[in-house]
Structure 1
Amino acid sequence: MCILTRQLSHREPDVALLLSHPLHFVSLGLGSGLFPKAPGTAGTLLGFPLFWSIMQLPIWQQWLALLLLFVFGIWCCAFTGRALGVSDHGAIVWDEIVAMAAILVTVPATWAWAVAAFVLFRLFDILKPFPIRWADRHVGGGFGVMLDDGLAAVMAIIVLQLMQRWL
């Protein structure tokens, strides 16, 4: 038996939705996802305070925290996607926040590396080279929302690690 799911209507995110449920507040990036221009970039910037809040922890605890936030994001983003009628609406930016924090864990704590991490992540997130584009198109729901940004983070981390070795 095949069960088809569909989303019946599309709703634009607004402050009322943001404040209507804690999961919407989180998935919409504490409001940064409501920015009219470049909400993904605004959300990515929130990855910095998330990283700063965990950076004093031992590295294994940082990764554990990020893994838990990734898993929480699957649930959170799916919840808001259903409310919006669009699985990966541009206003859902929790995925960018967690991904940016993960990248920052891997680079030296300097402004130059932070800027490089930000720029590379945004490039991979926007351009979506393989396998990011494949995941974006073929993996749905909250896991799909989190996965494509997770892959963009992995690609940025690889480039940044190569840069660190080269420099």
Structure 2
Amino acid sequence: MKISQLIATVAGVGYLRPAPGTWGSLAALPLGYGLIVWGGWPLLVGMAVVAFVAGTWATGVETRGKANHDPSEIVIDEVVGQWIALLPVAYGAGMMGVAPERLWPGWVAAFVLFRLFDITKPWIVGWADRRDDAMGVMLDDVFAGALAALGVIVSGAAYHMVFM
């Protein structure tokens, strides 16, 4: 497997069926957990940036000359988007000085909301997806992750206002 294919498919996770995008998002969770435990939210941000740059390059290489600019086996974009969705959880765990798994409802919300926005492609997510190029492949998941992160923040705030 060439390096661009390894990056784009997240070491072959993108070949899992059915729903490779969901598998890519699921693979992002333990990877993100490890980053959060090892270096907190700053490491998660840094690695999301590295994965975005590497993913944009790898997606461009893997789709060059092909009609389909967003084949289902490319899931590095899901990893980046899922990590963005997890940022409020990582930040909250660091701010409160607790283990990230203690904020498990945030993990669930980040996953569900990211998948929802990635699949339905509302507003700016759909705009990015319609670019039909490697940057669009990556950006639609960045925007879906940002919307999911906002949803995590709002749902966490609502929970704390009602139950705390």
Distance in 2 (alpha carbons) for counterparts of 1:131 and 1:41: 21
Task: Report the counterpart of residue 81 of structure 1 in structure 2.
Answer: 63
Structure 1: which 4+ aligned runs deviate by more than 6 Å?
none
Where does structure 2 lack aligned partners over 5 or more consecutive residues?
Answer: 94-99, 160-164
Local SS of the residue matching 2:123:
coil
AA aligned to 1:39 is: P
AA aligned to 2:105 is: A
**How well do the aligned residues superpose, as a CA RMSD in angstroms?**
1.6
With the length of structure 2 as denominator, give the TM-score of the two structures.
Answer: 0.82
With the length of structure 1 as denominator, give the TM-score of the two structures.
Answer: 0.81
Structure with more helix by fraction:
2
Structure 2 residue corresponding to 1:65, chosen from 33, 47, 57: 47
Q: Does residue 39 in structure 1 map to residue 20 in structure 2?
A: yes
Local SS of the residue matching 2:156:
helix
Task: Report the counterpart of residue 30 of structure 2 in structure 1.
Answer: 49
Aligned pair count?
147
Question: Which structure 2 residues correspond to residues 152-163 of structure 1 after superposition, within 5 A?
Answer: 152-163=144-155
Local SS of the residue matching 1:106:
helix
Matched-pair identity in % = 34
Question: Which structure 2 residues correspond to residues 12-161 of structure 1 after superposition, within 5 A?
Answer: 19=1, 21-55=2-36, 56-82=38-64, 85-107=67-89, 108=93, 109=100, 110-137=103-130, 139-161=131-153
Where does structure 1 lack aligned partners over 5 or more consecutive residues?
Answer: 1-18
Distance in 1 (alpha carbons) for counterparts of 2:42 and 2:112: 26
Conservation of the 8 A alpha-carbon contact between 1:51 and 1:102? no
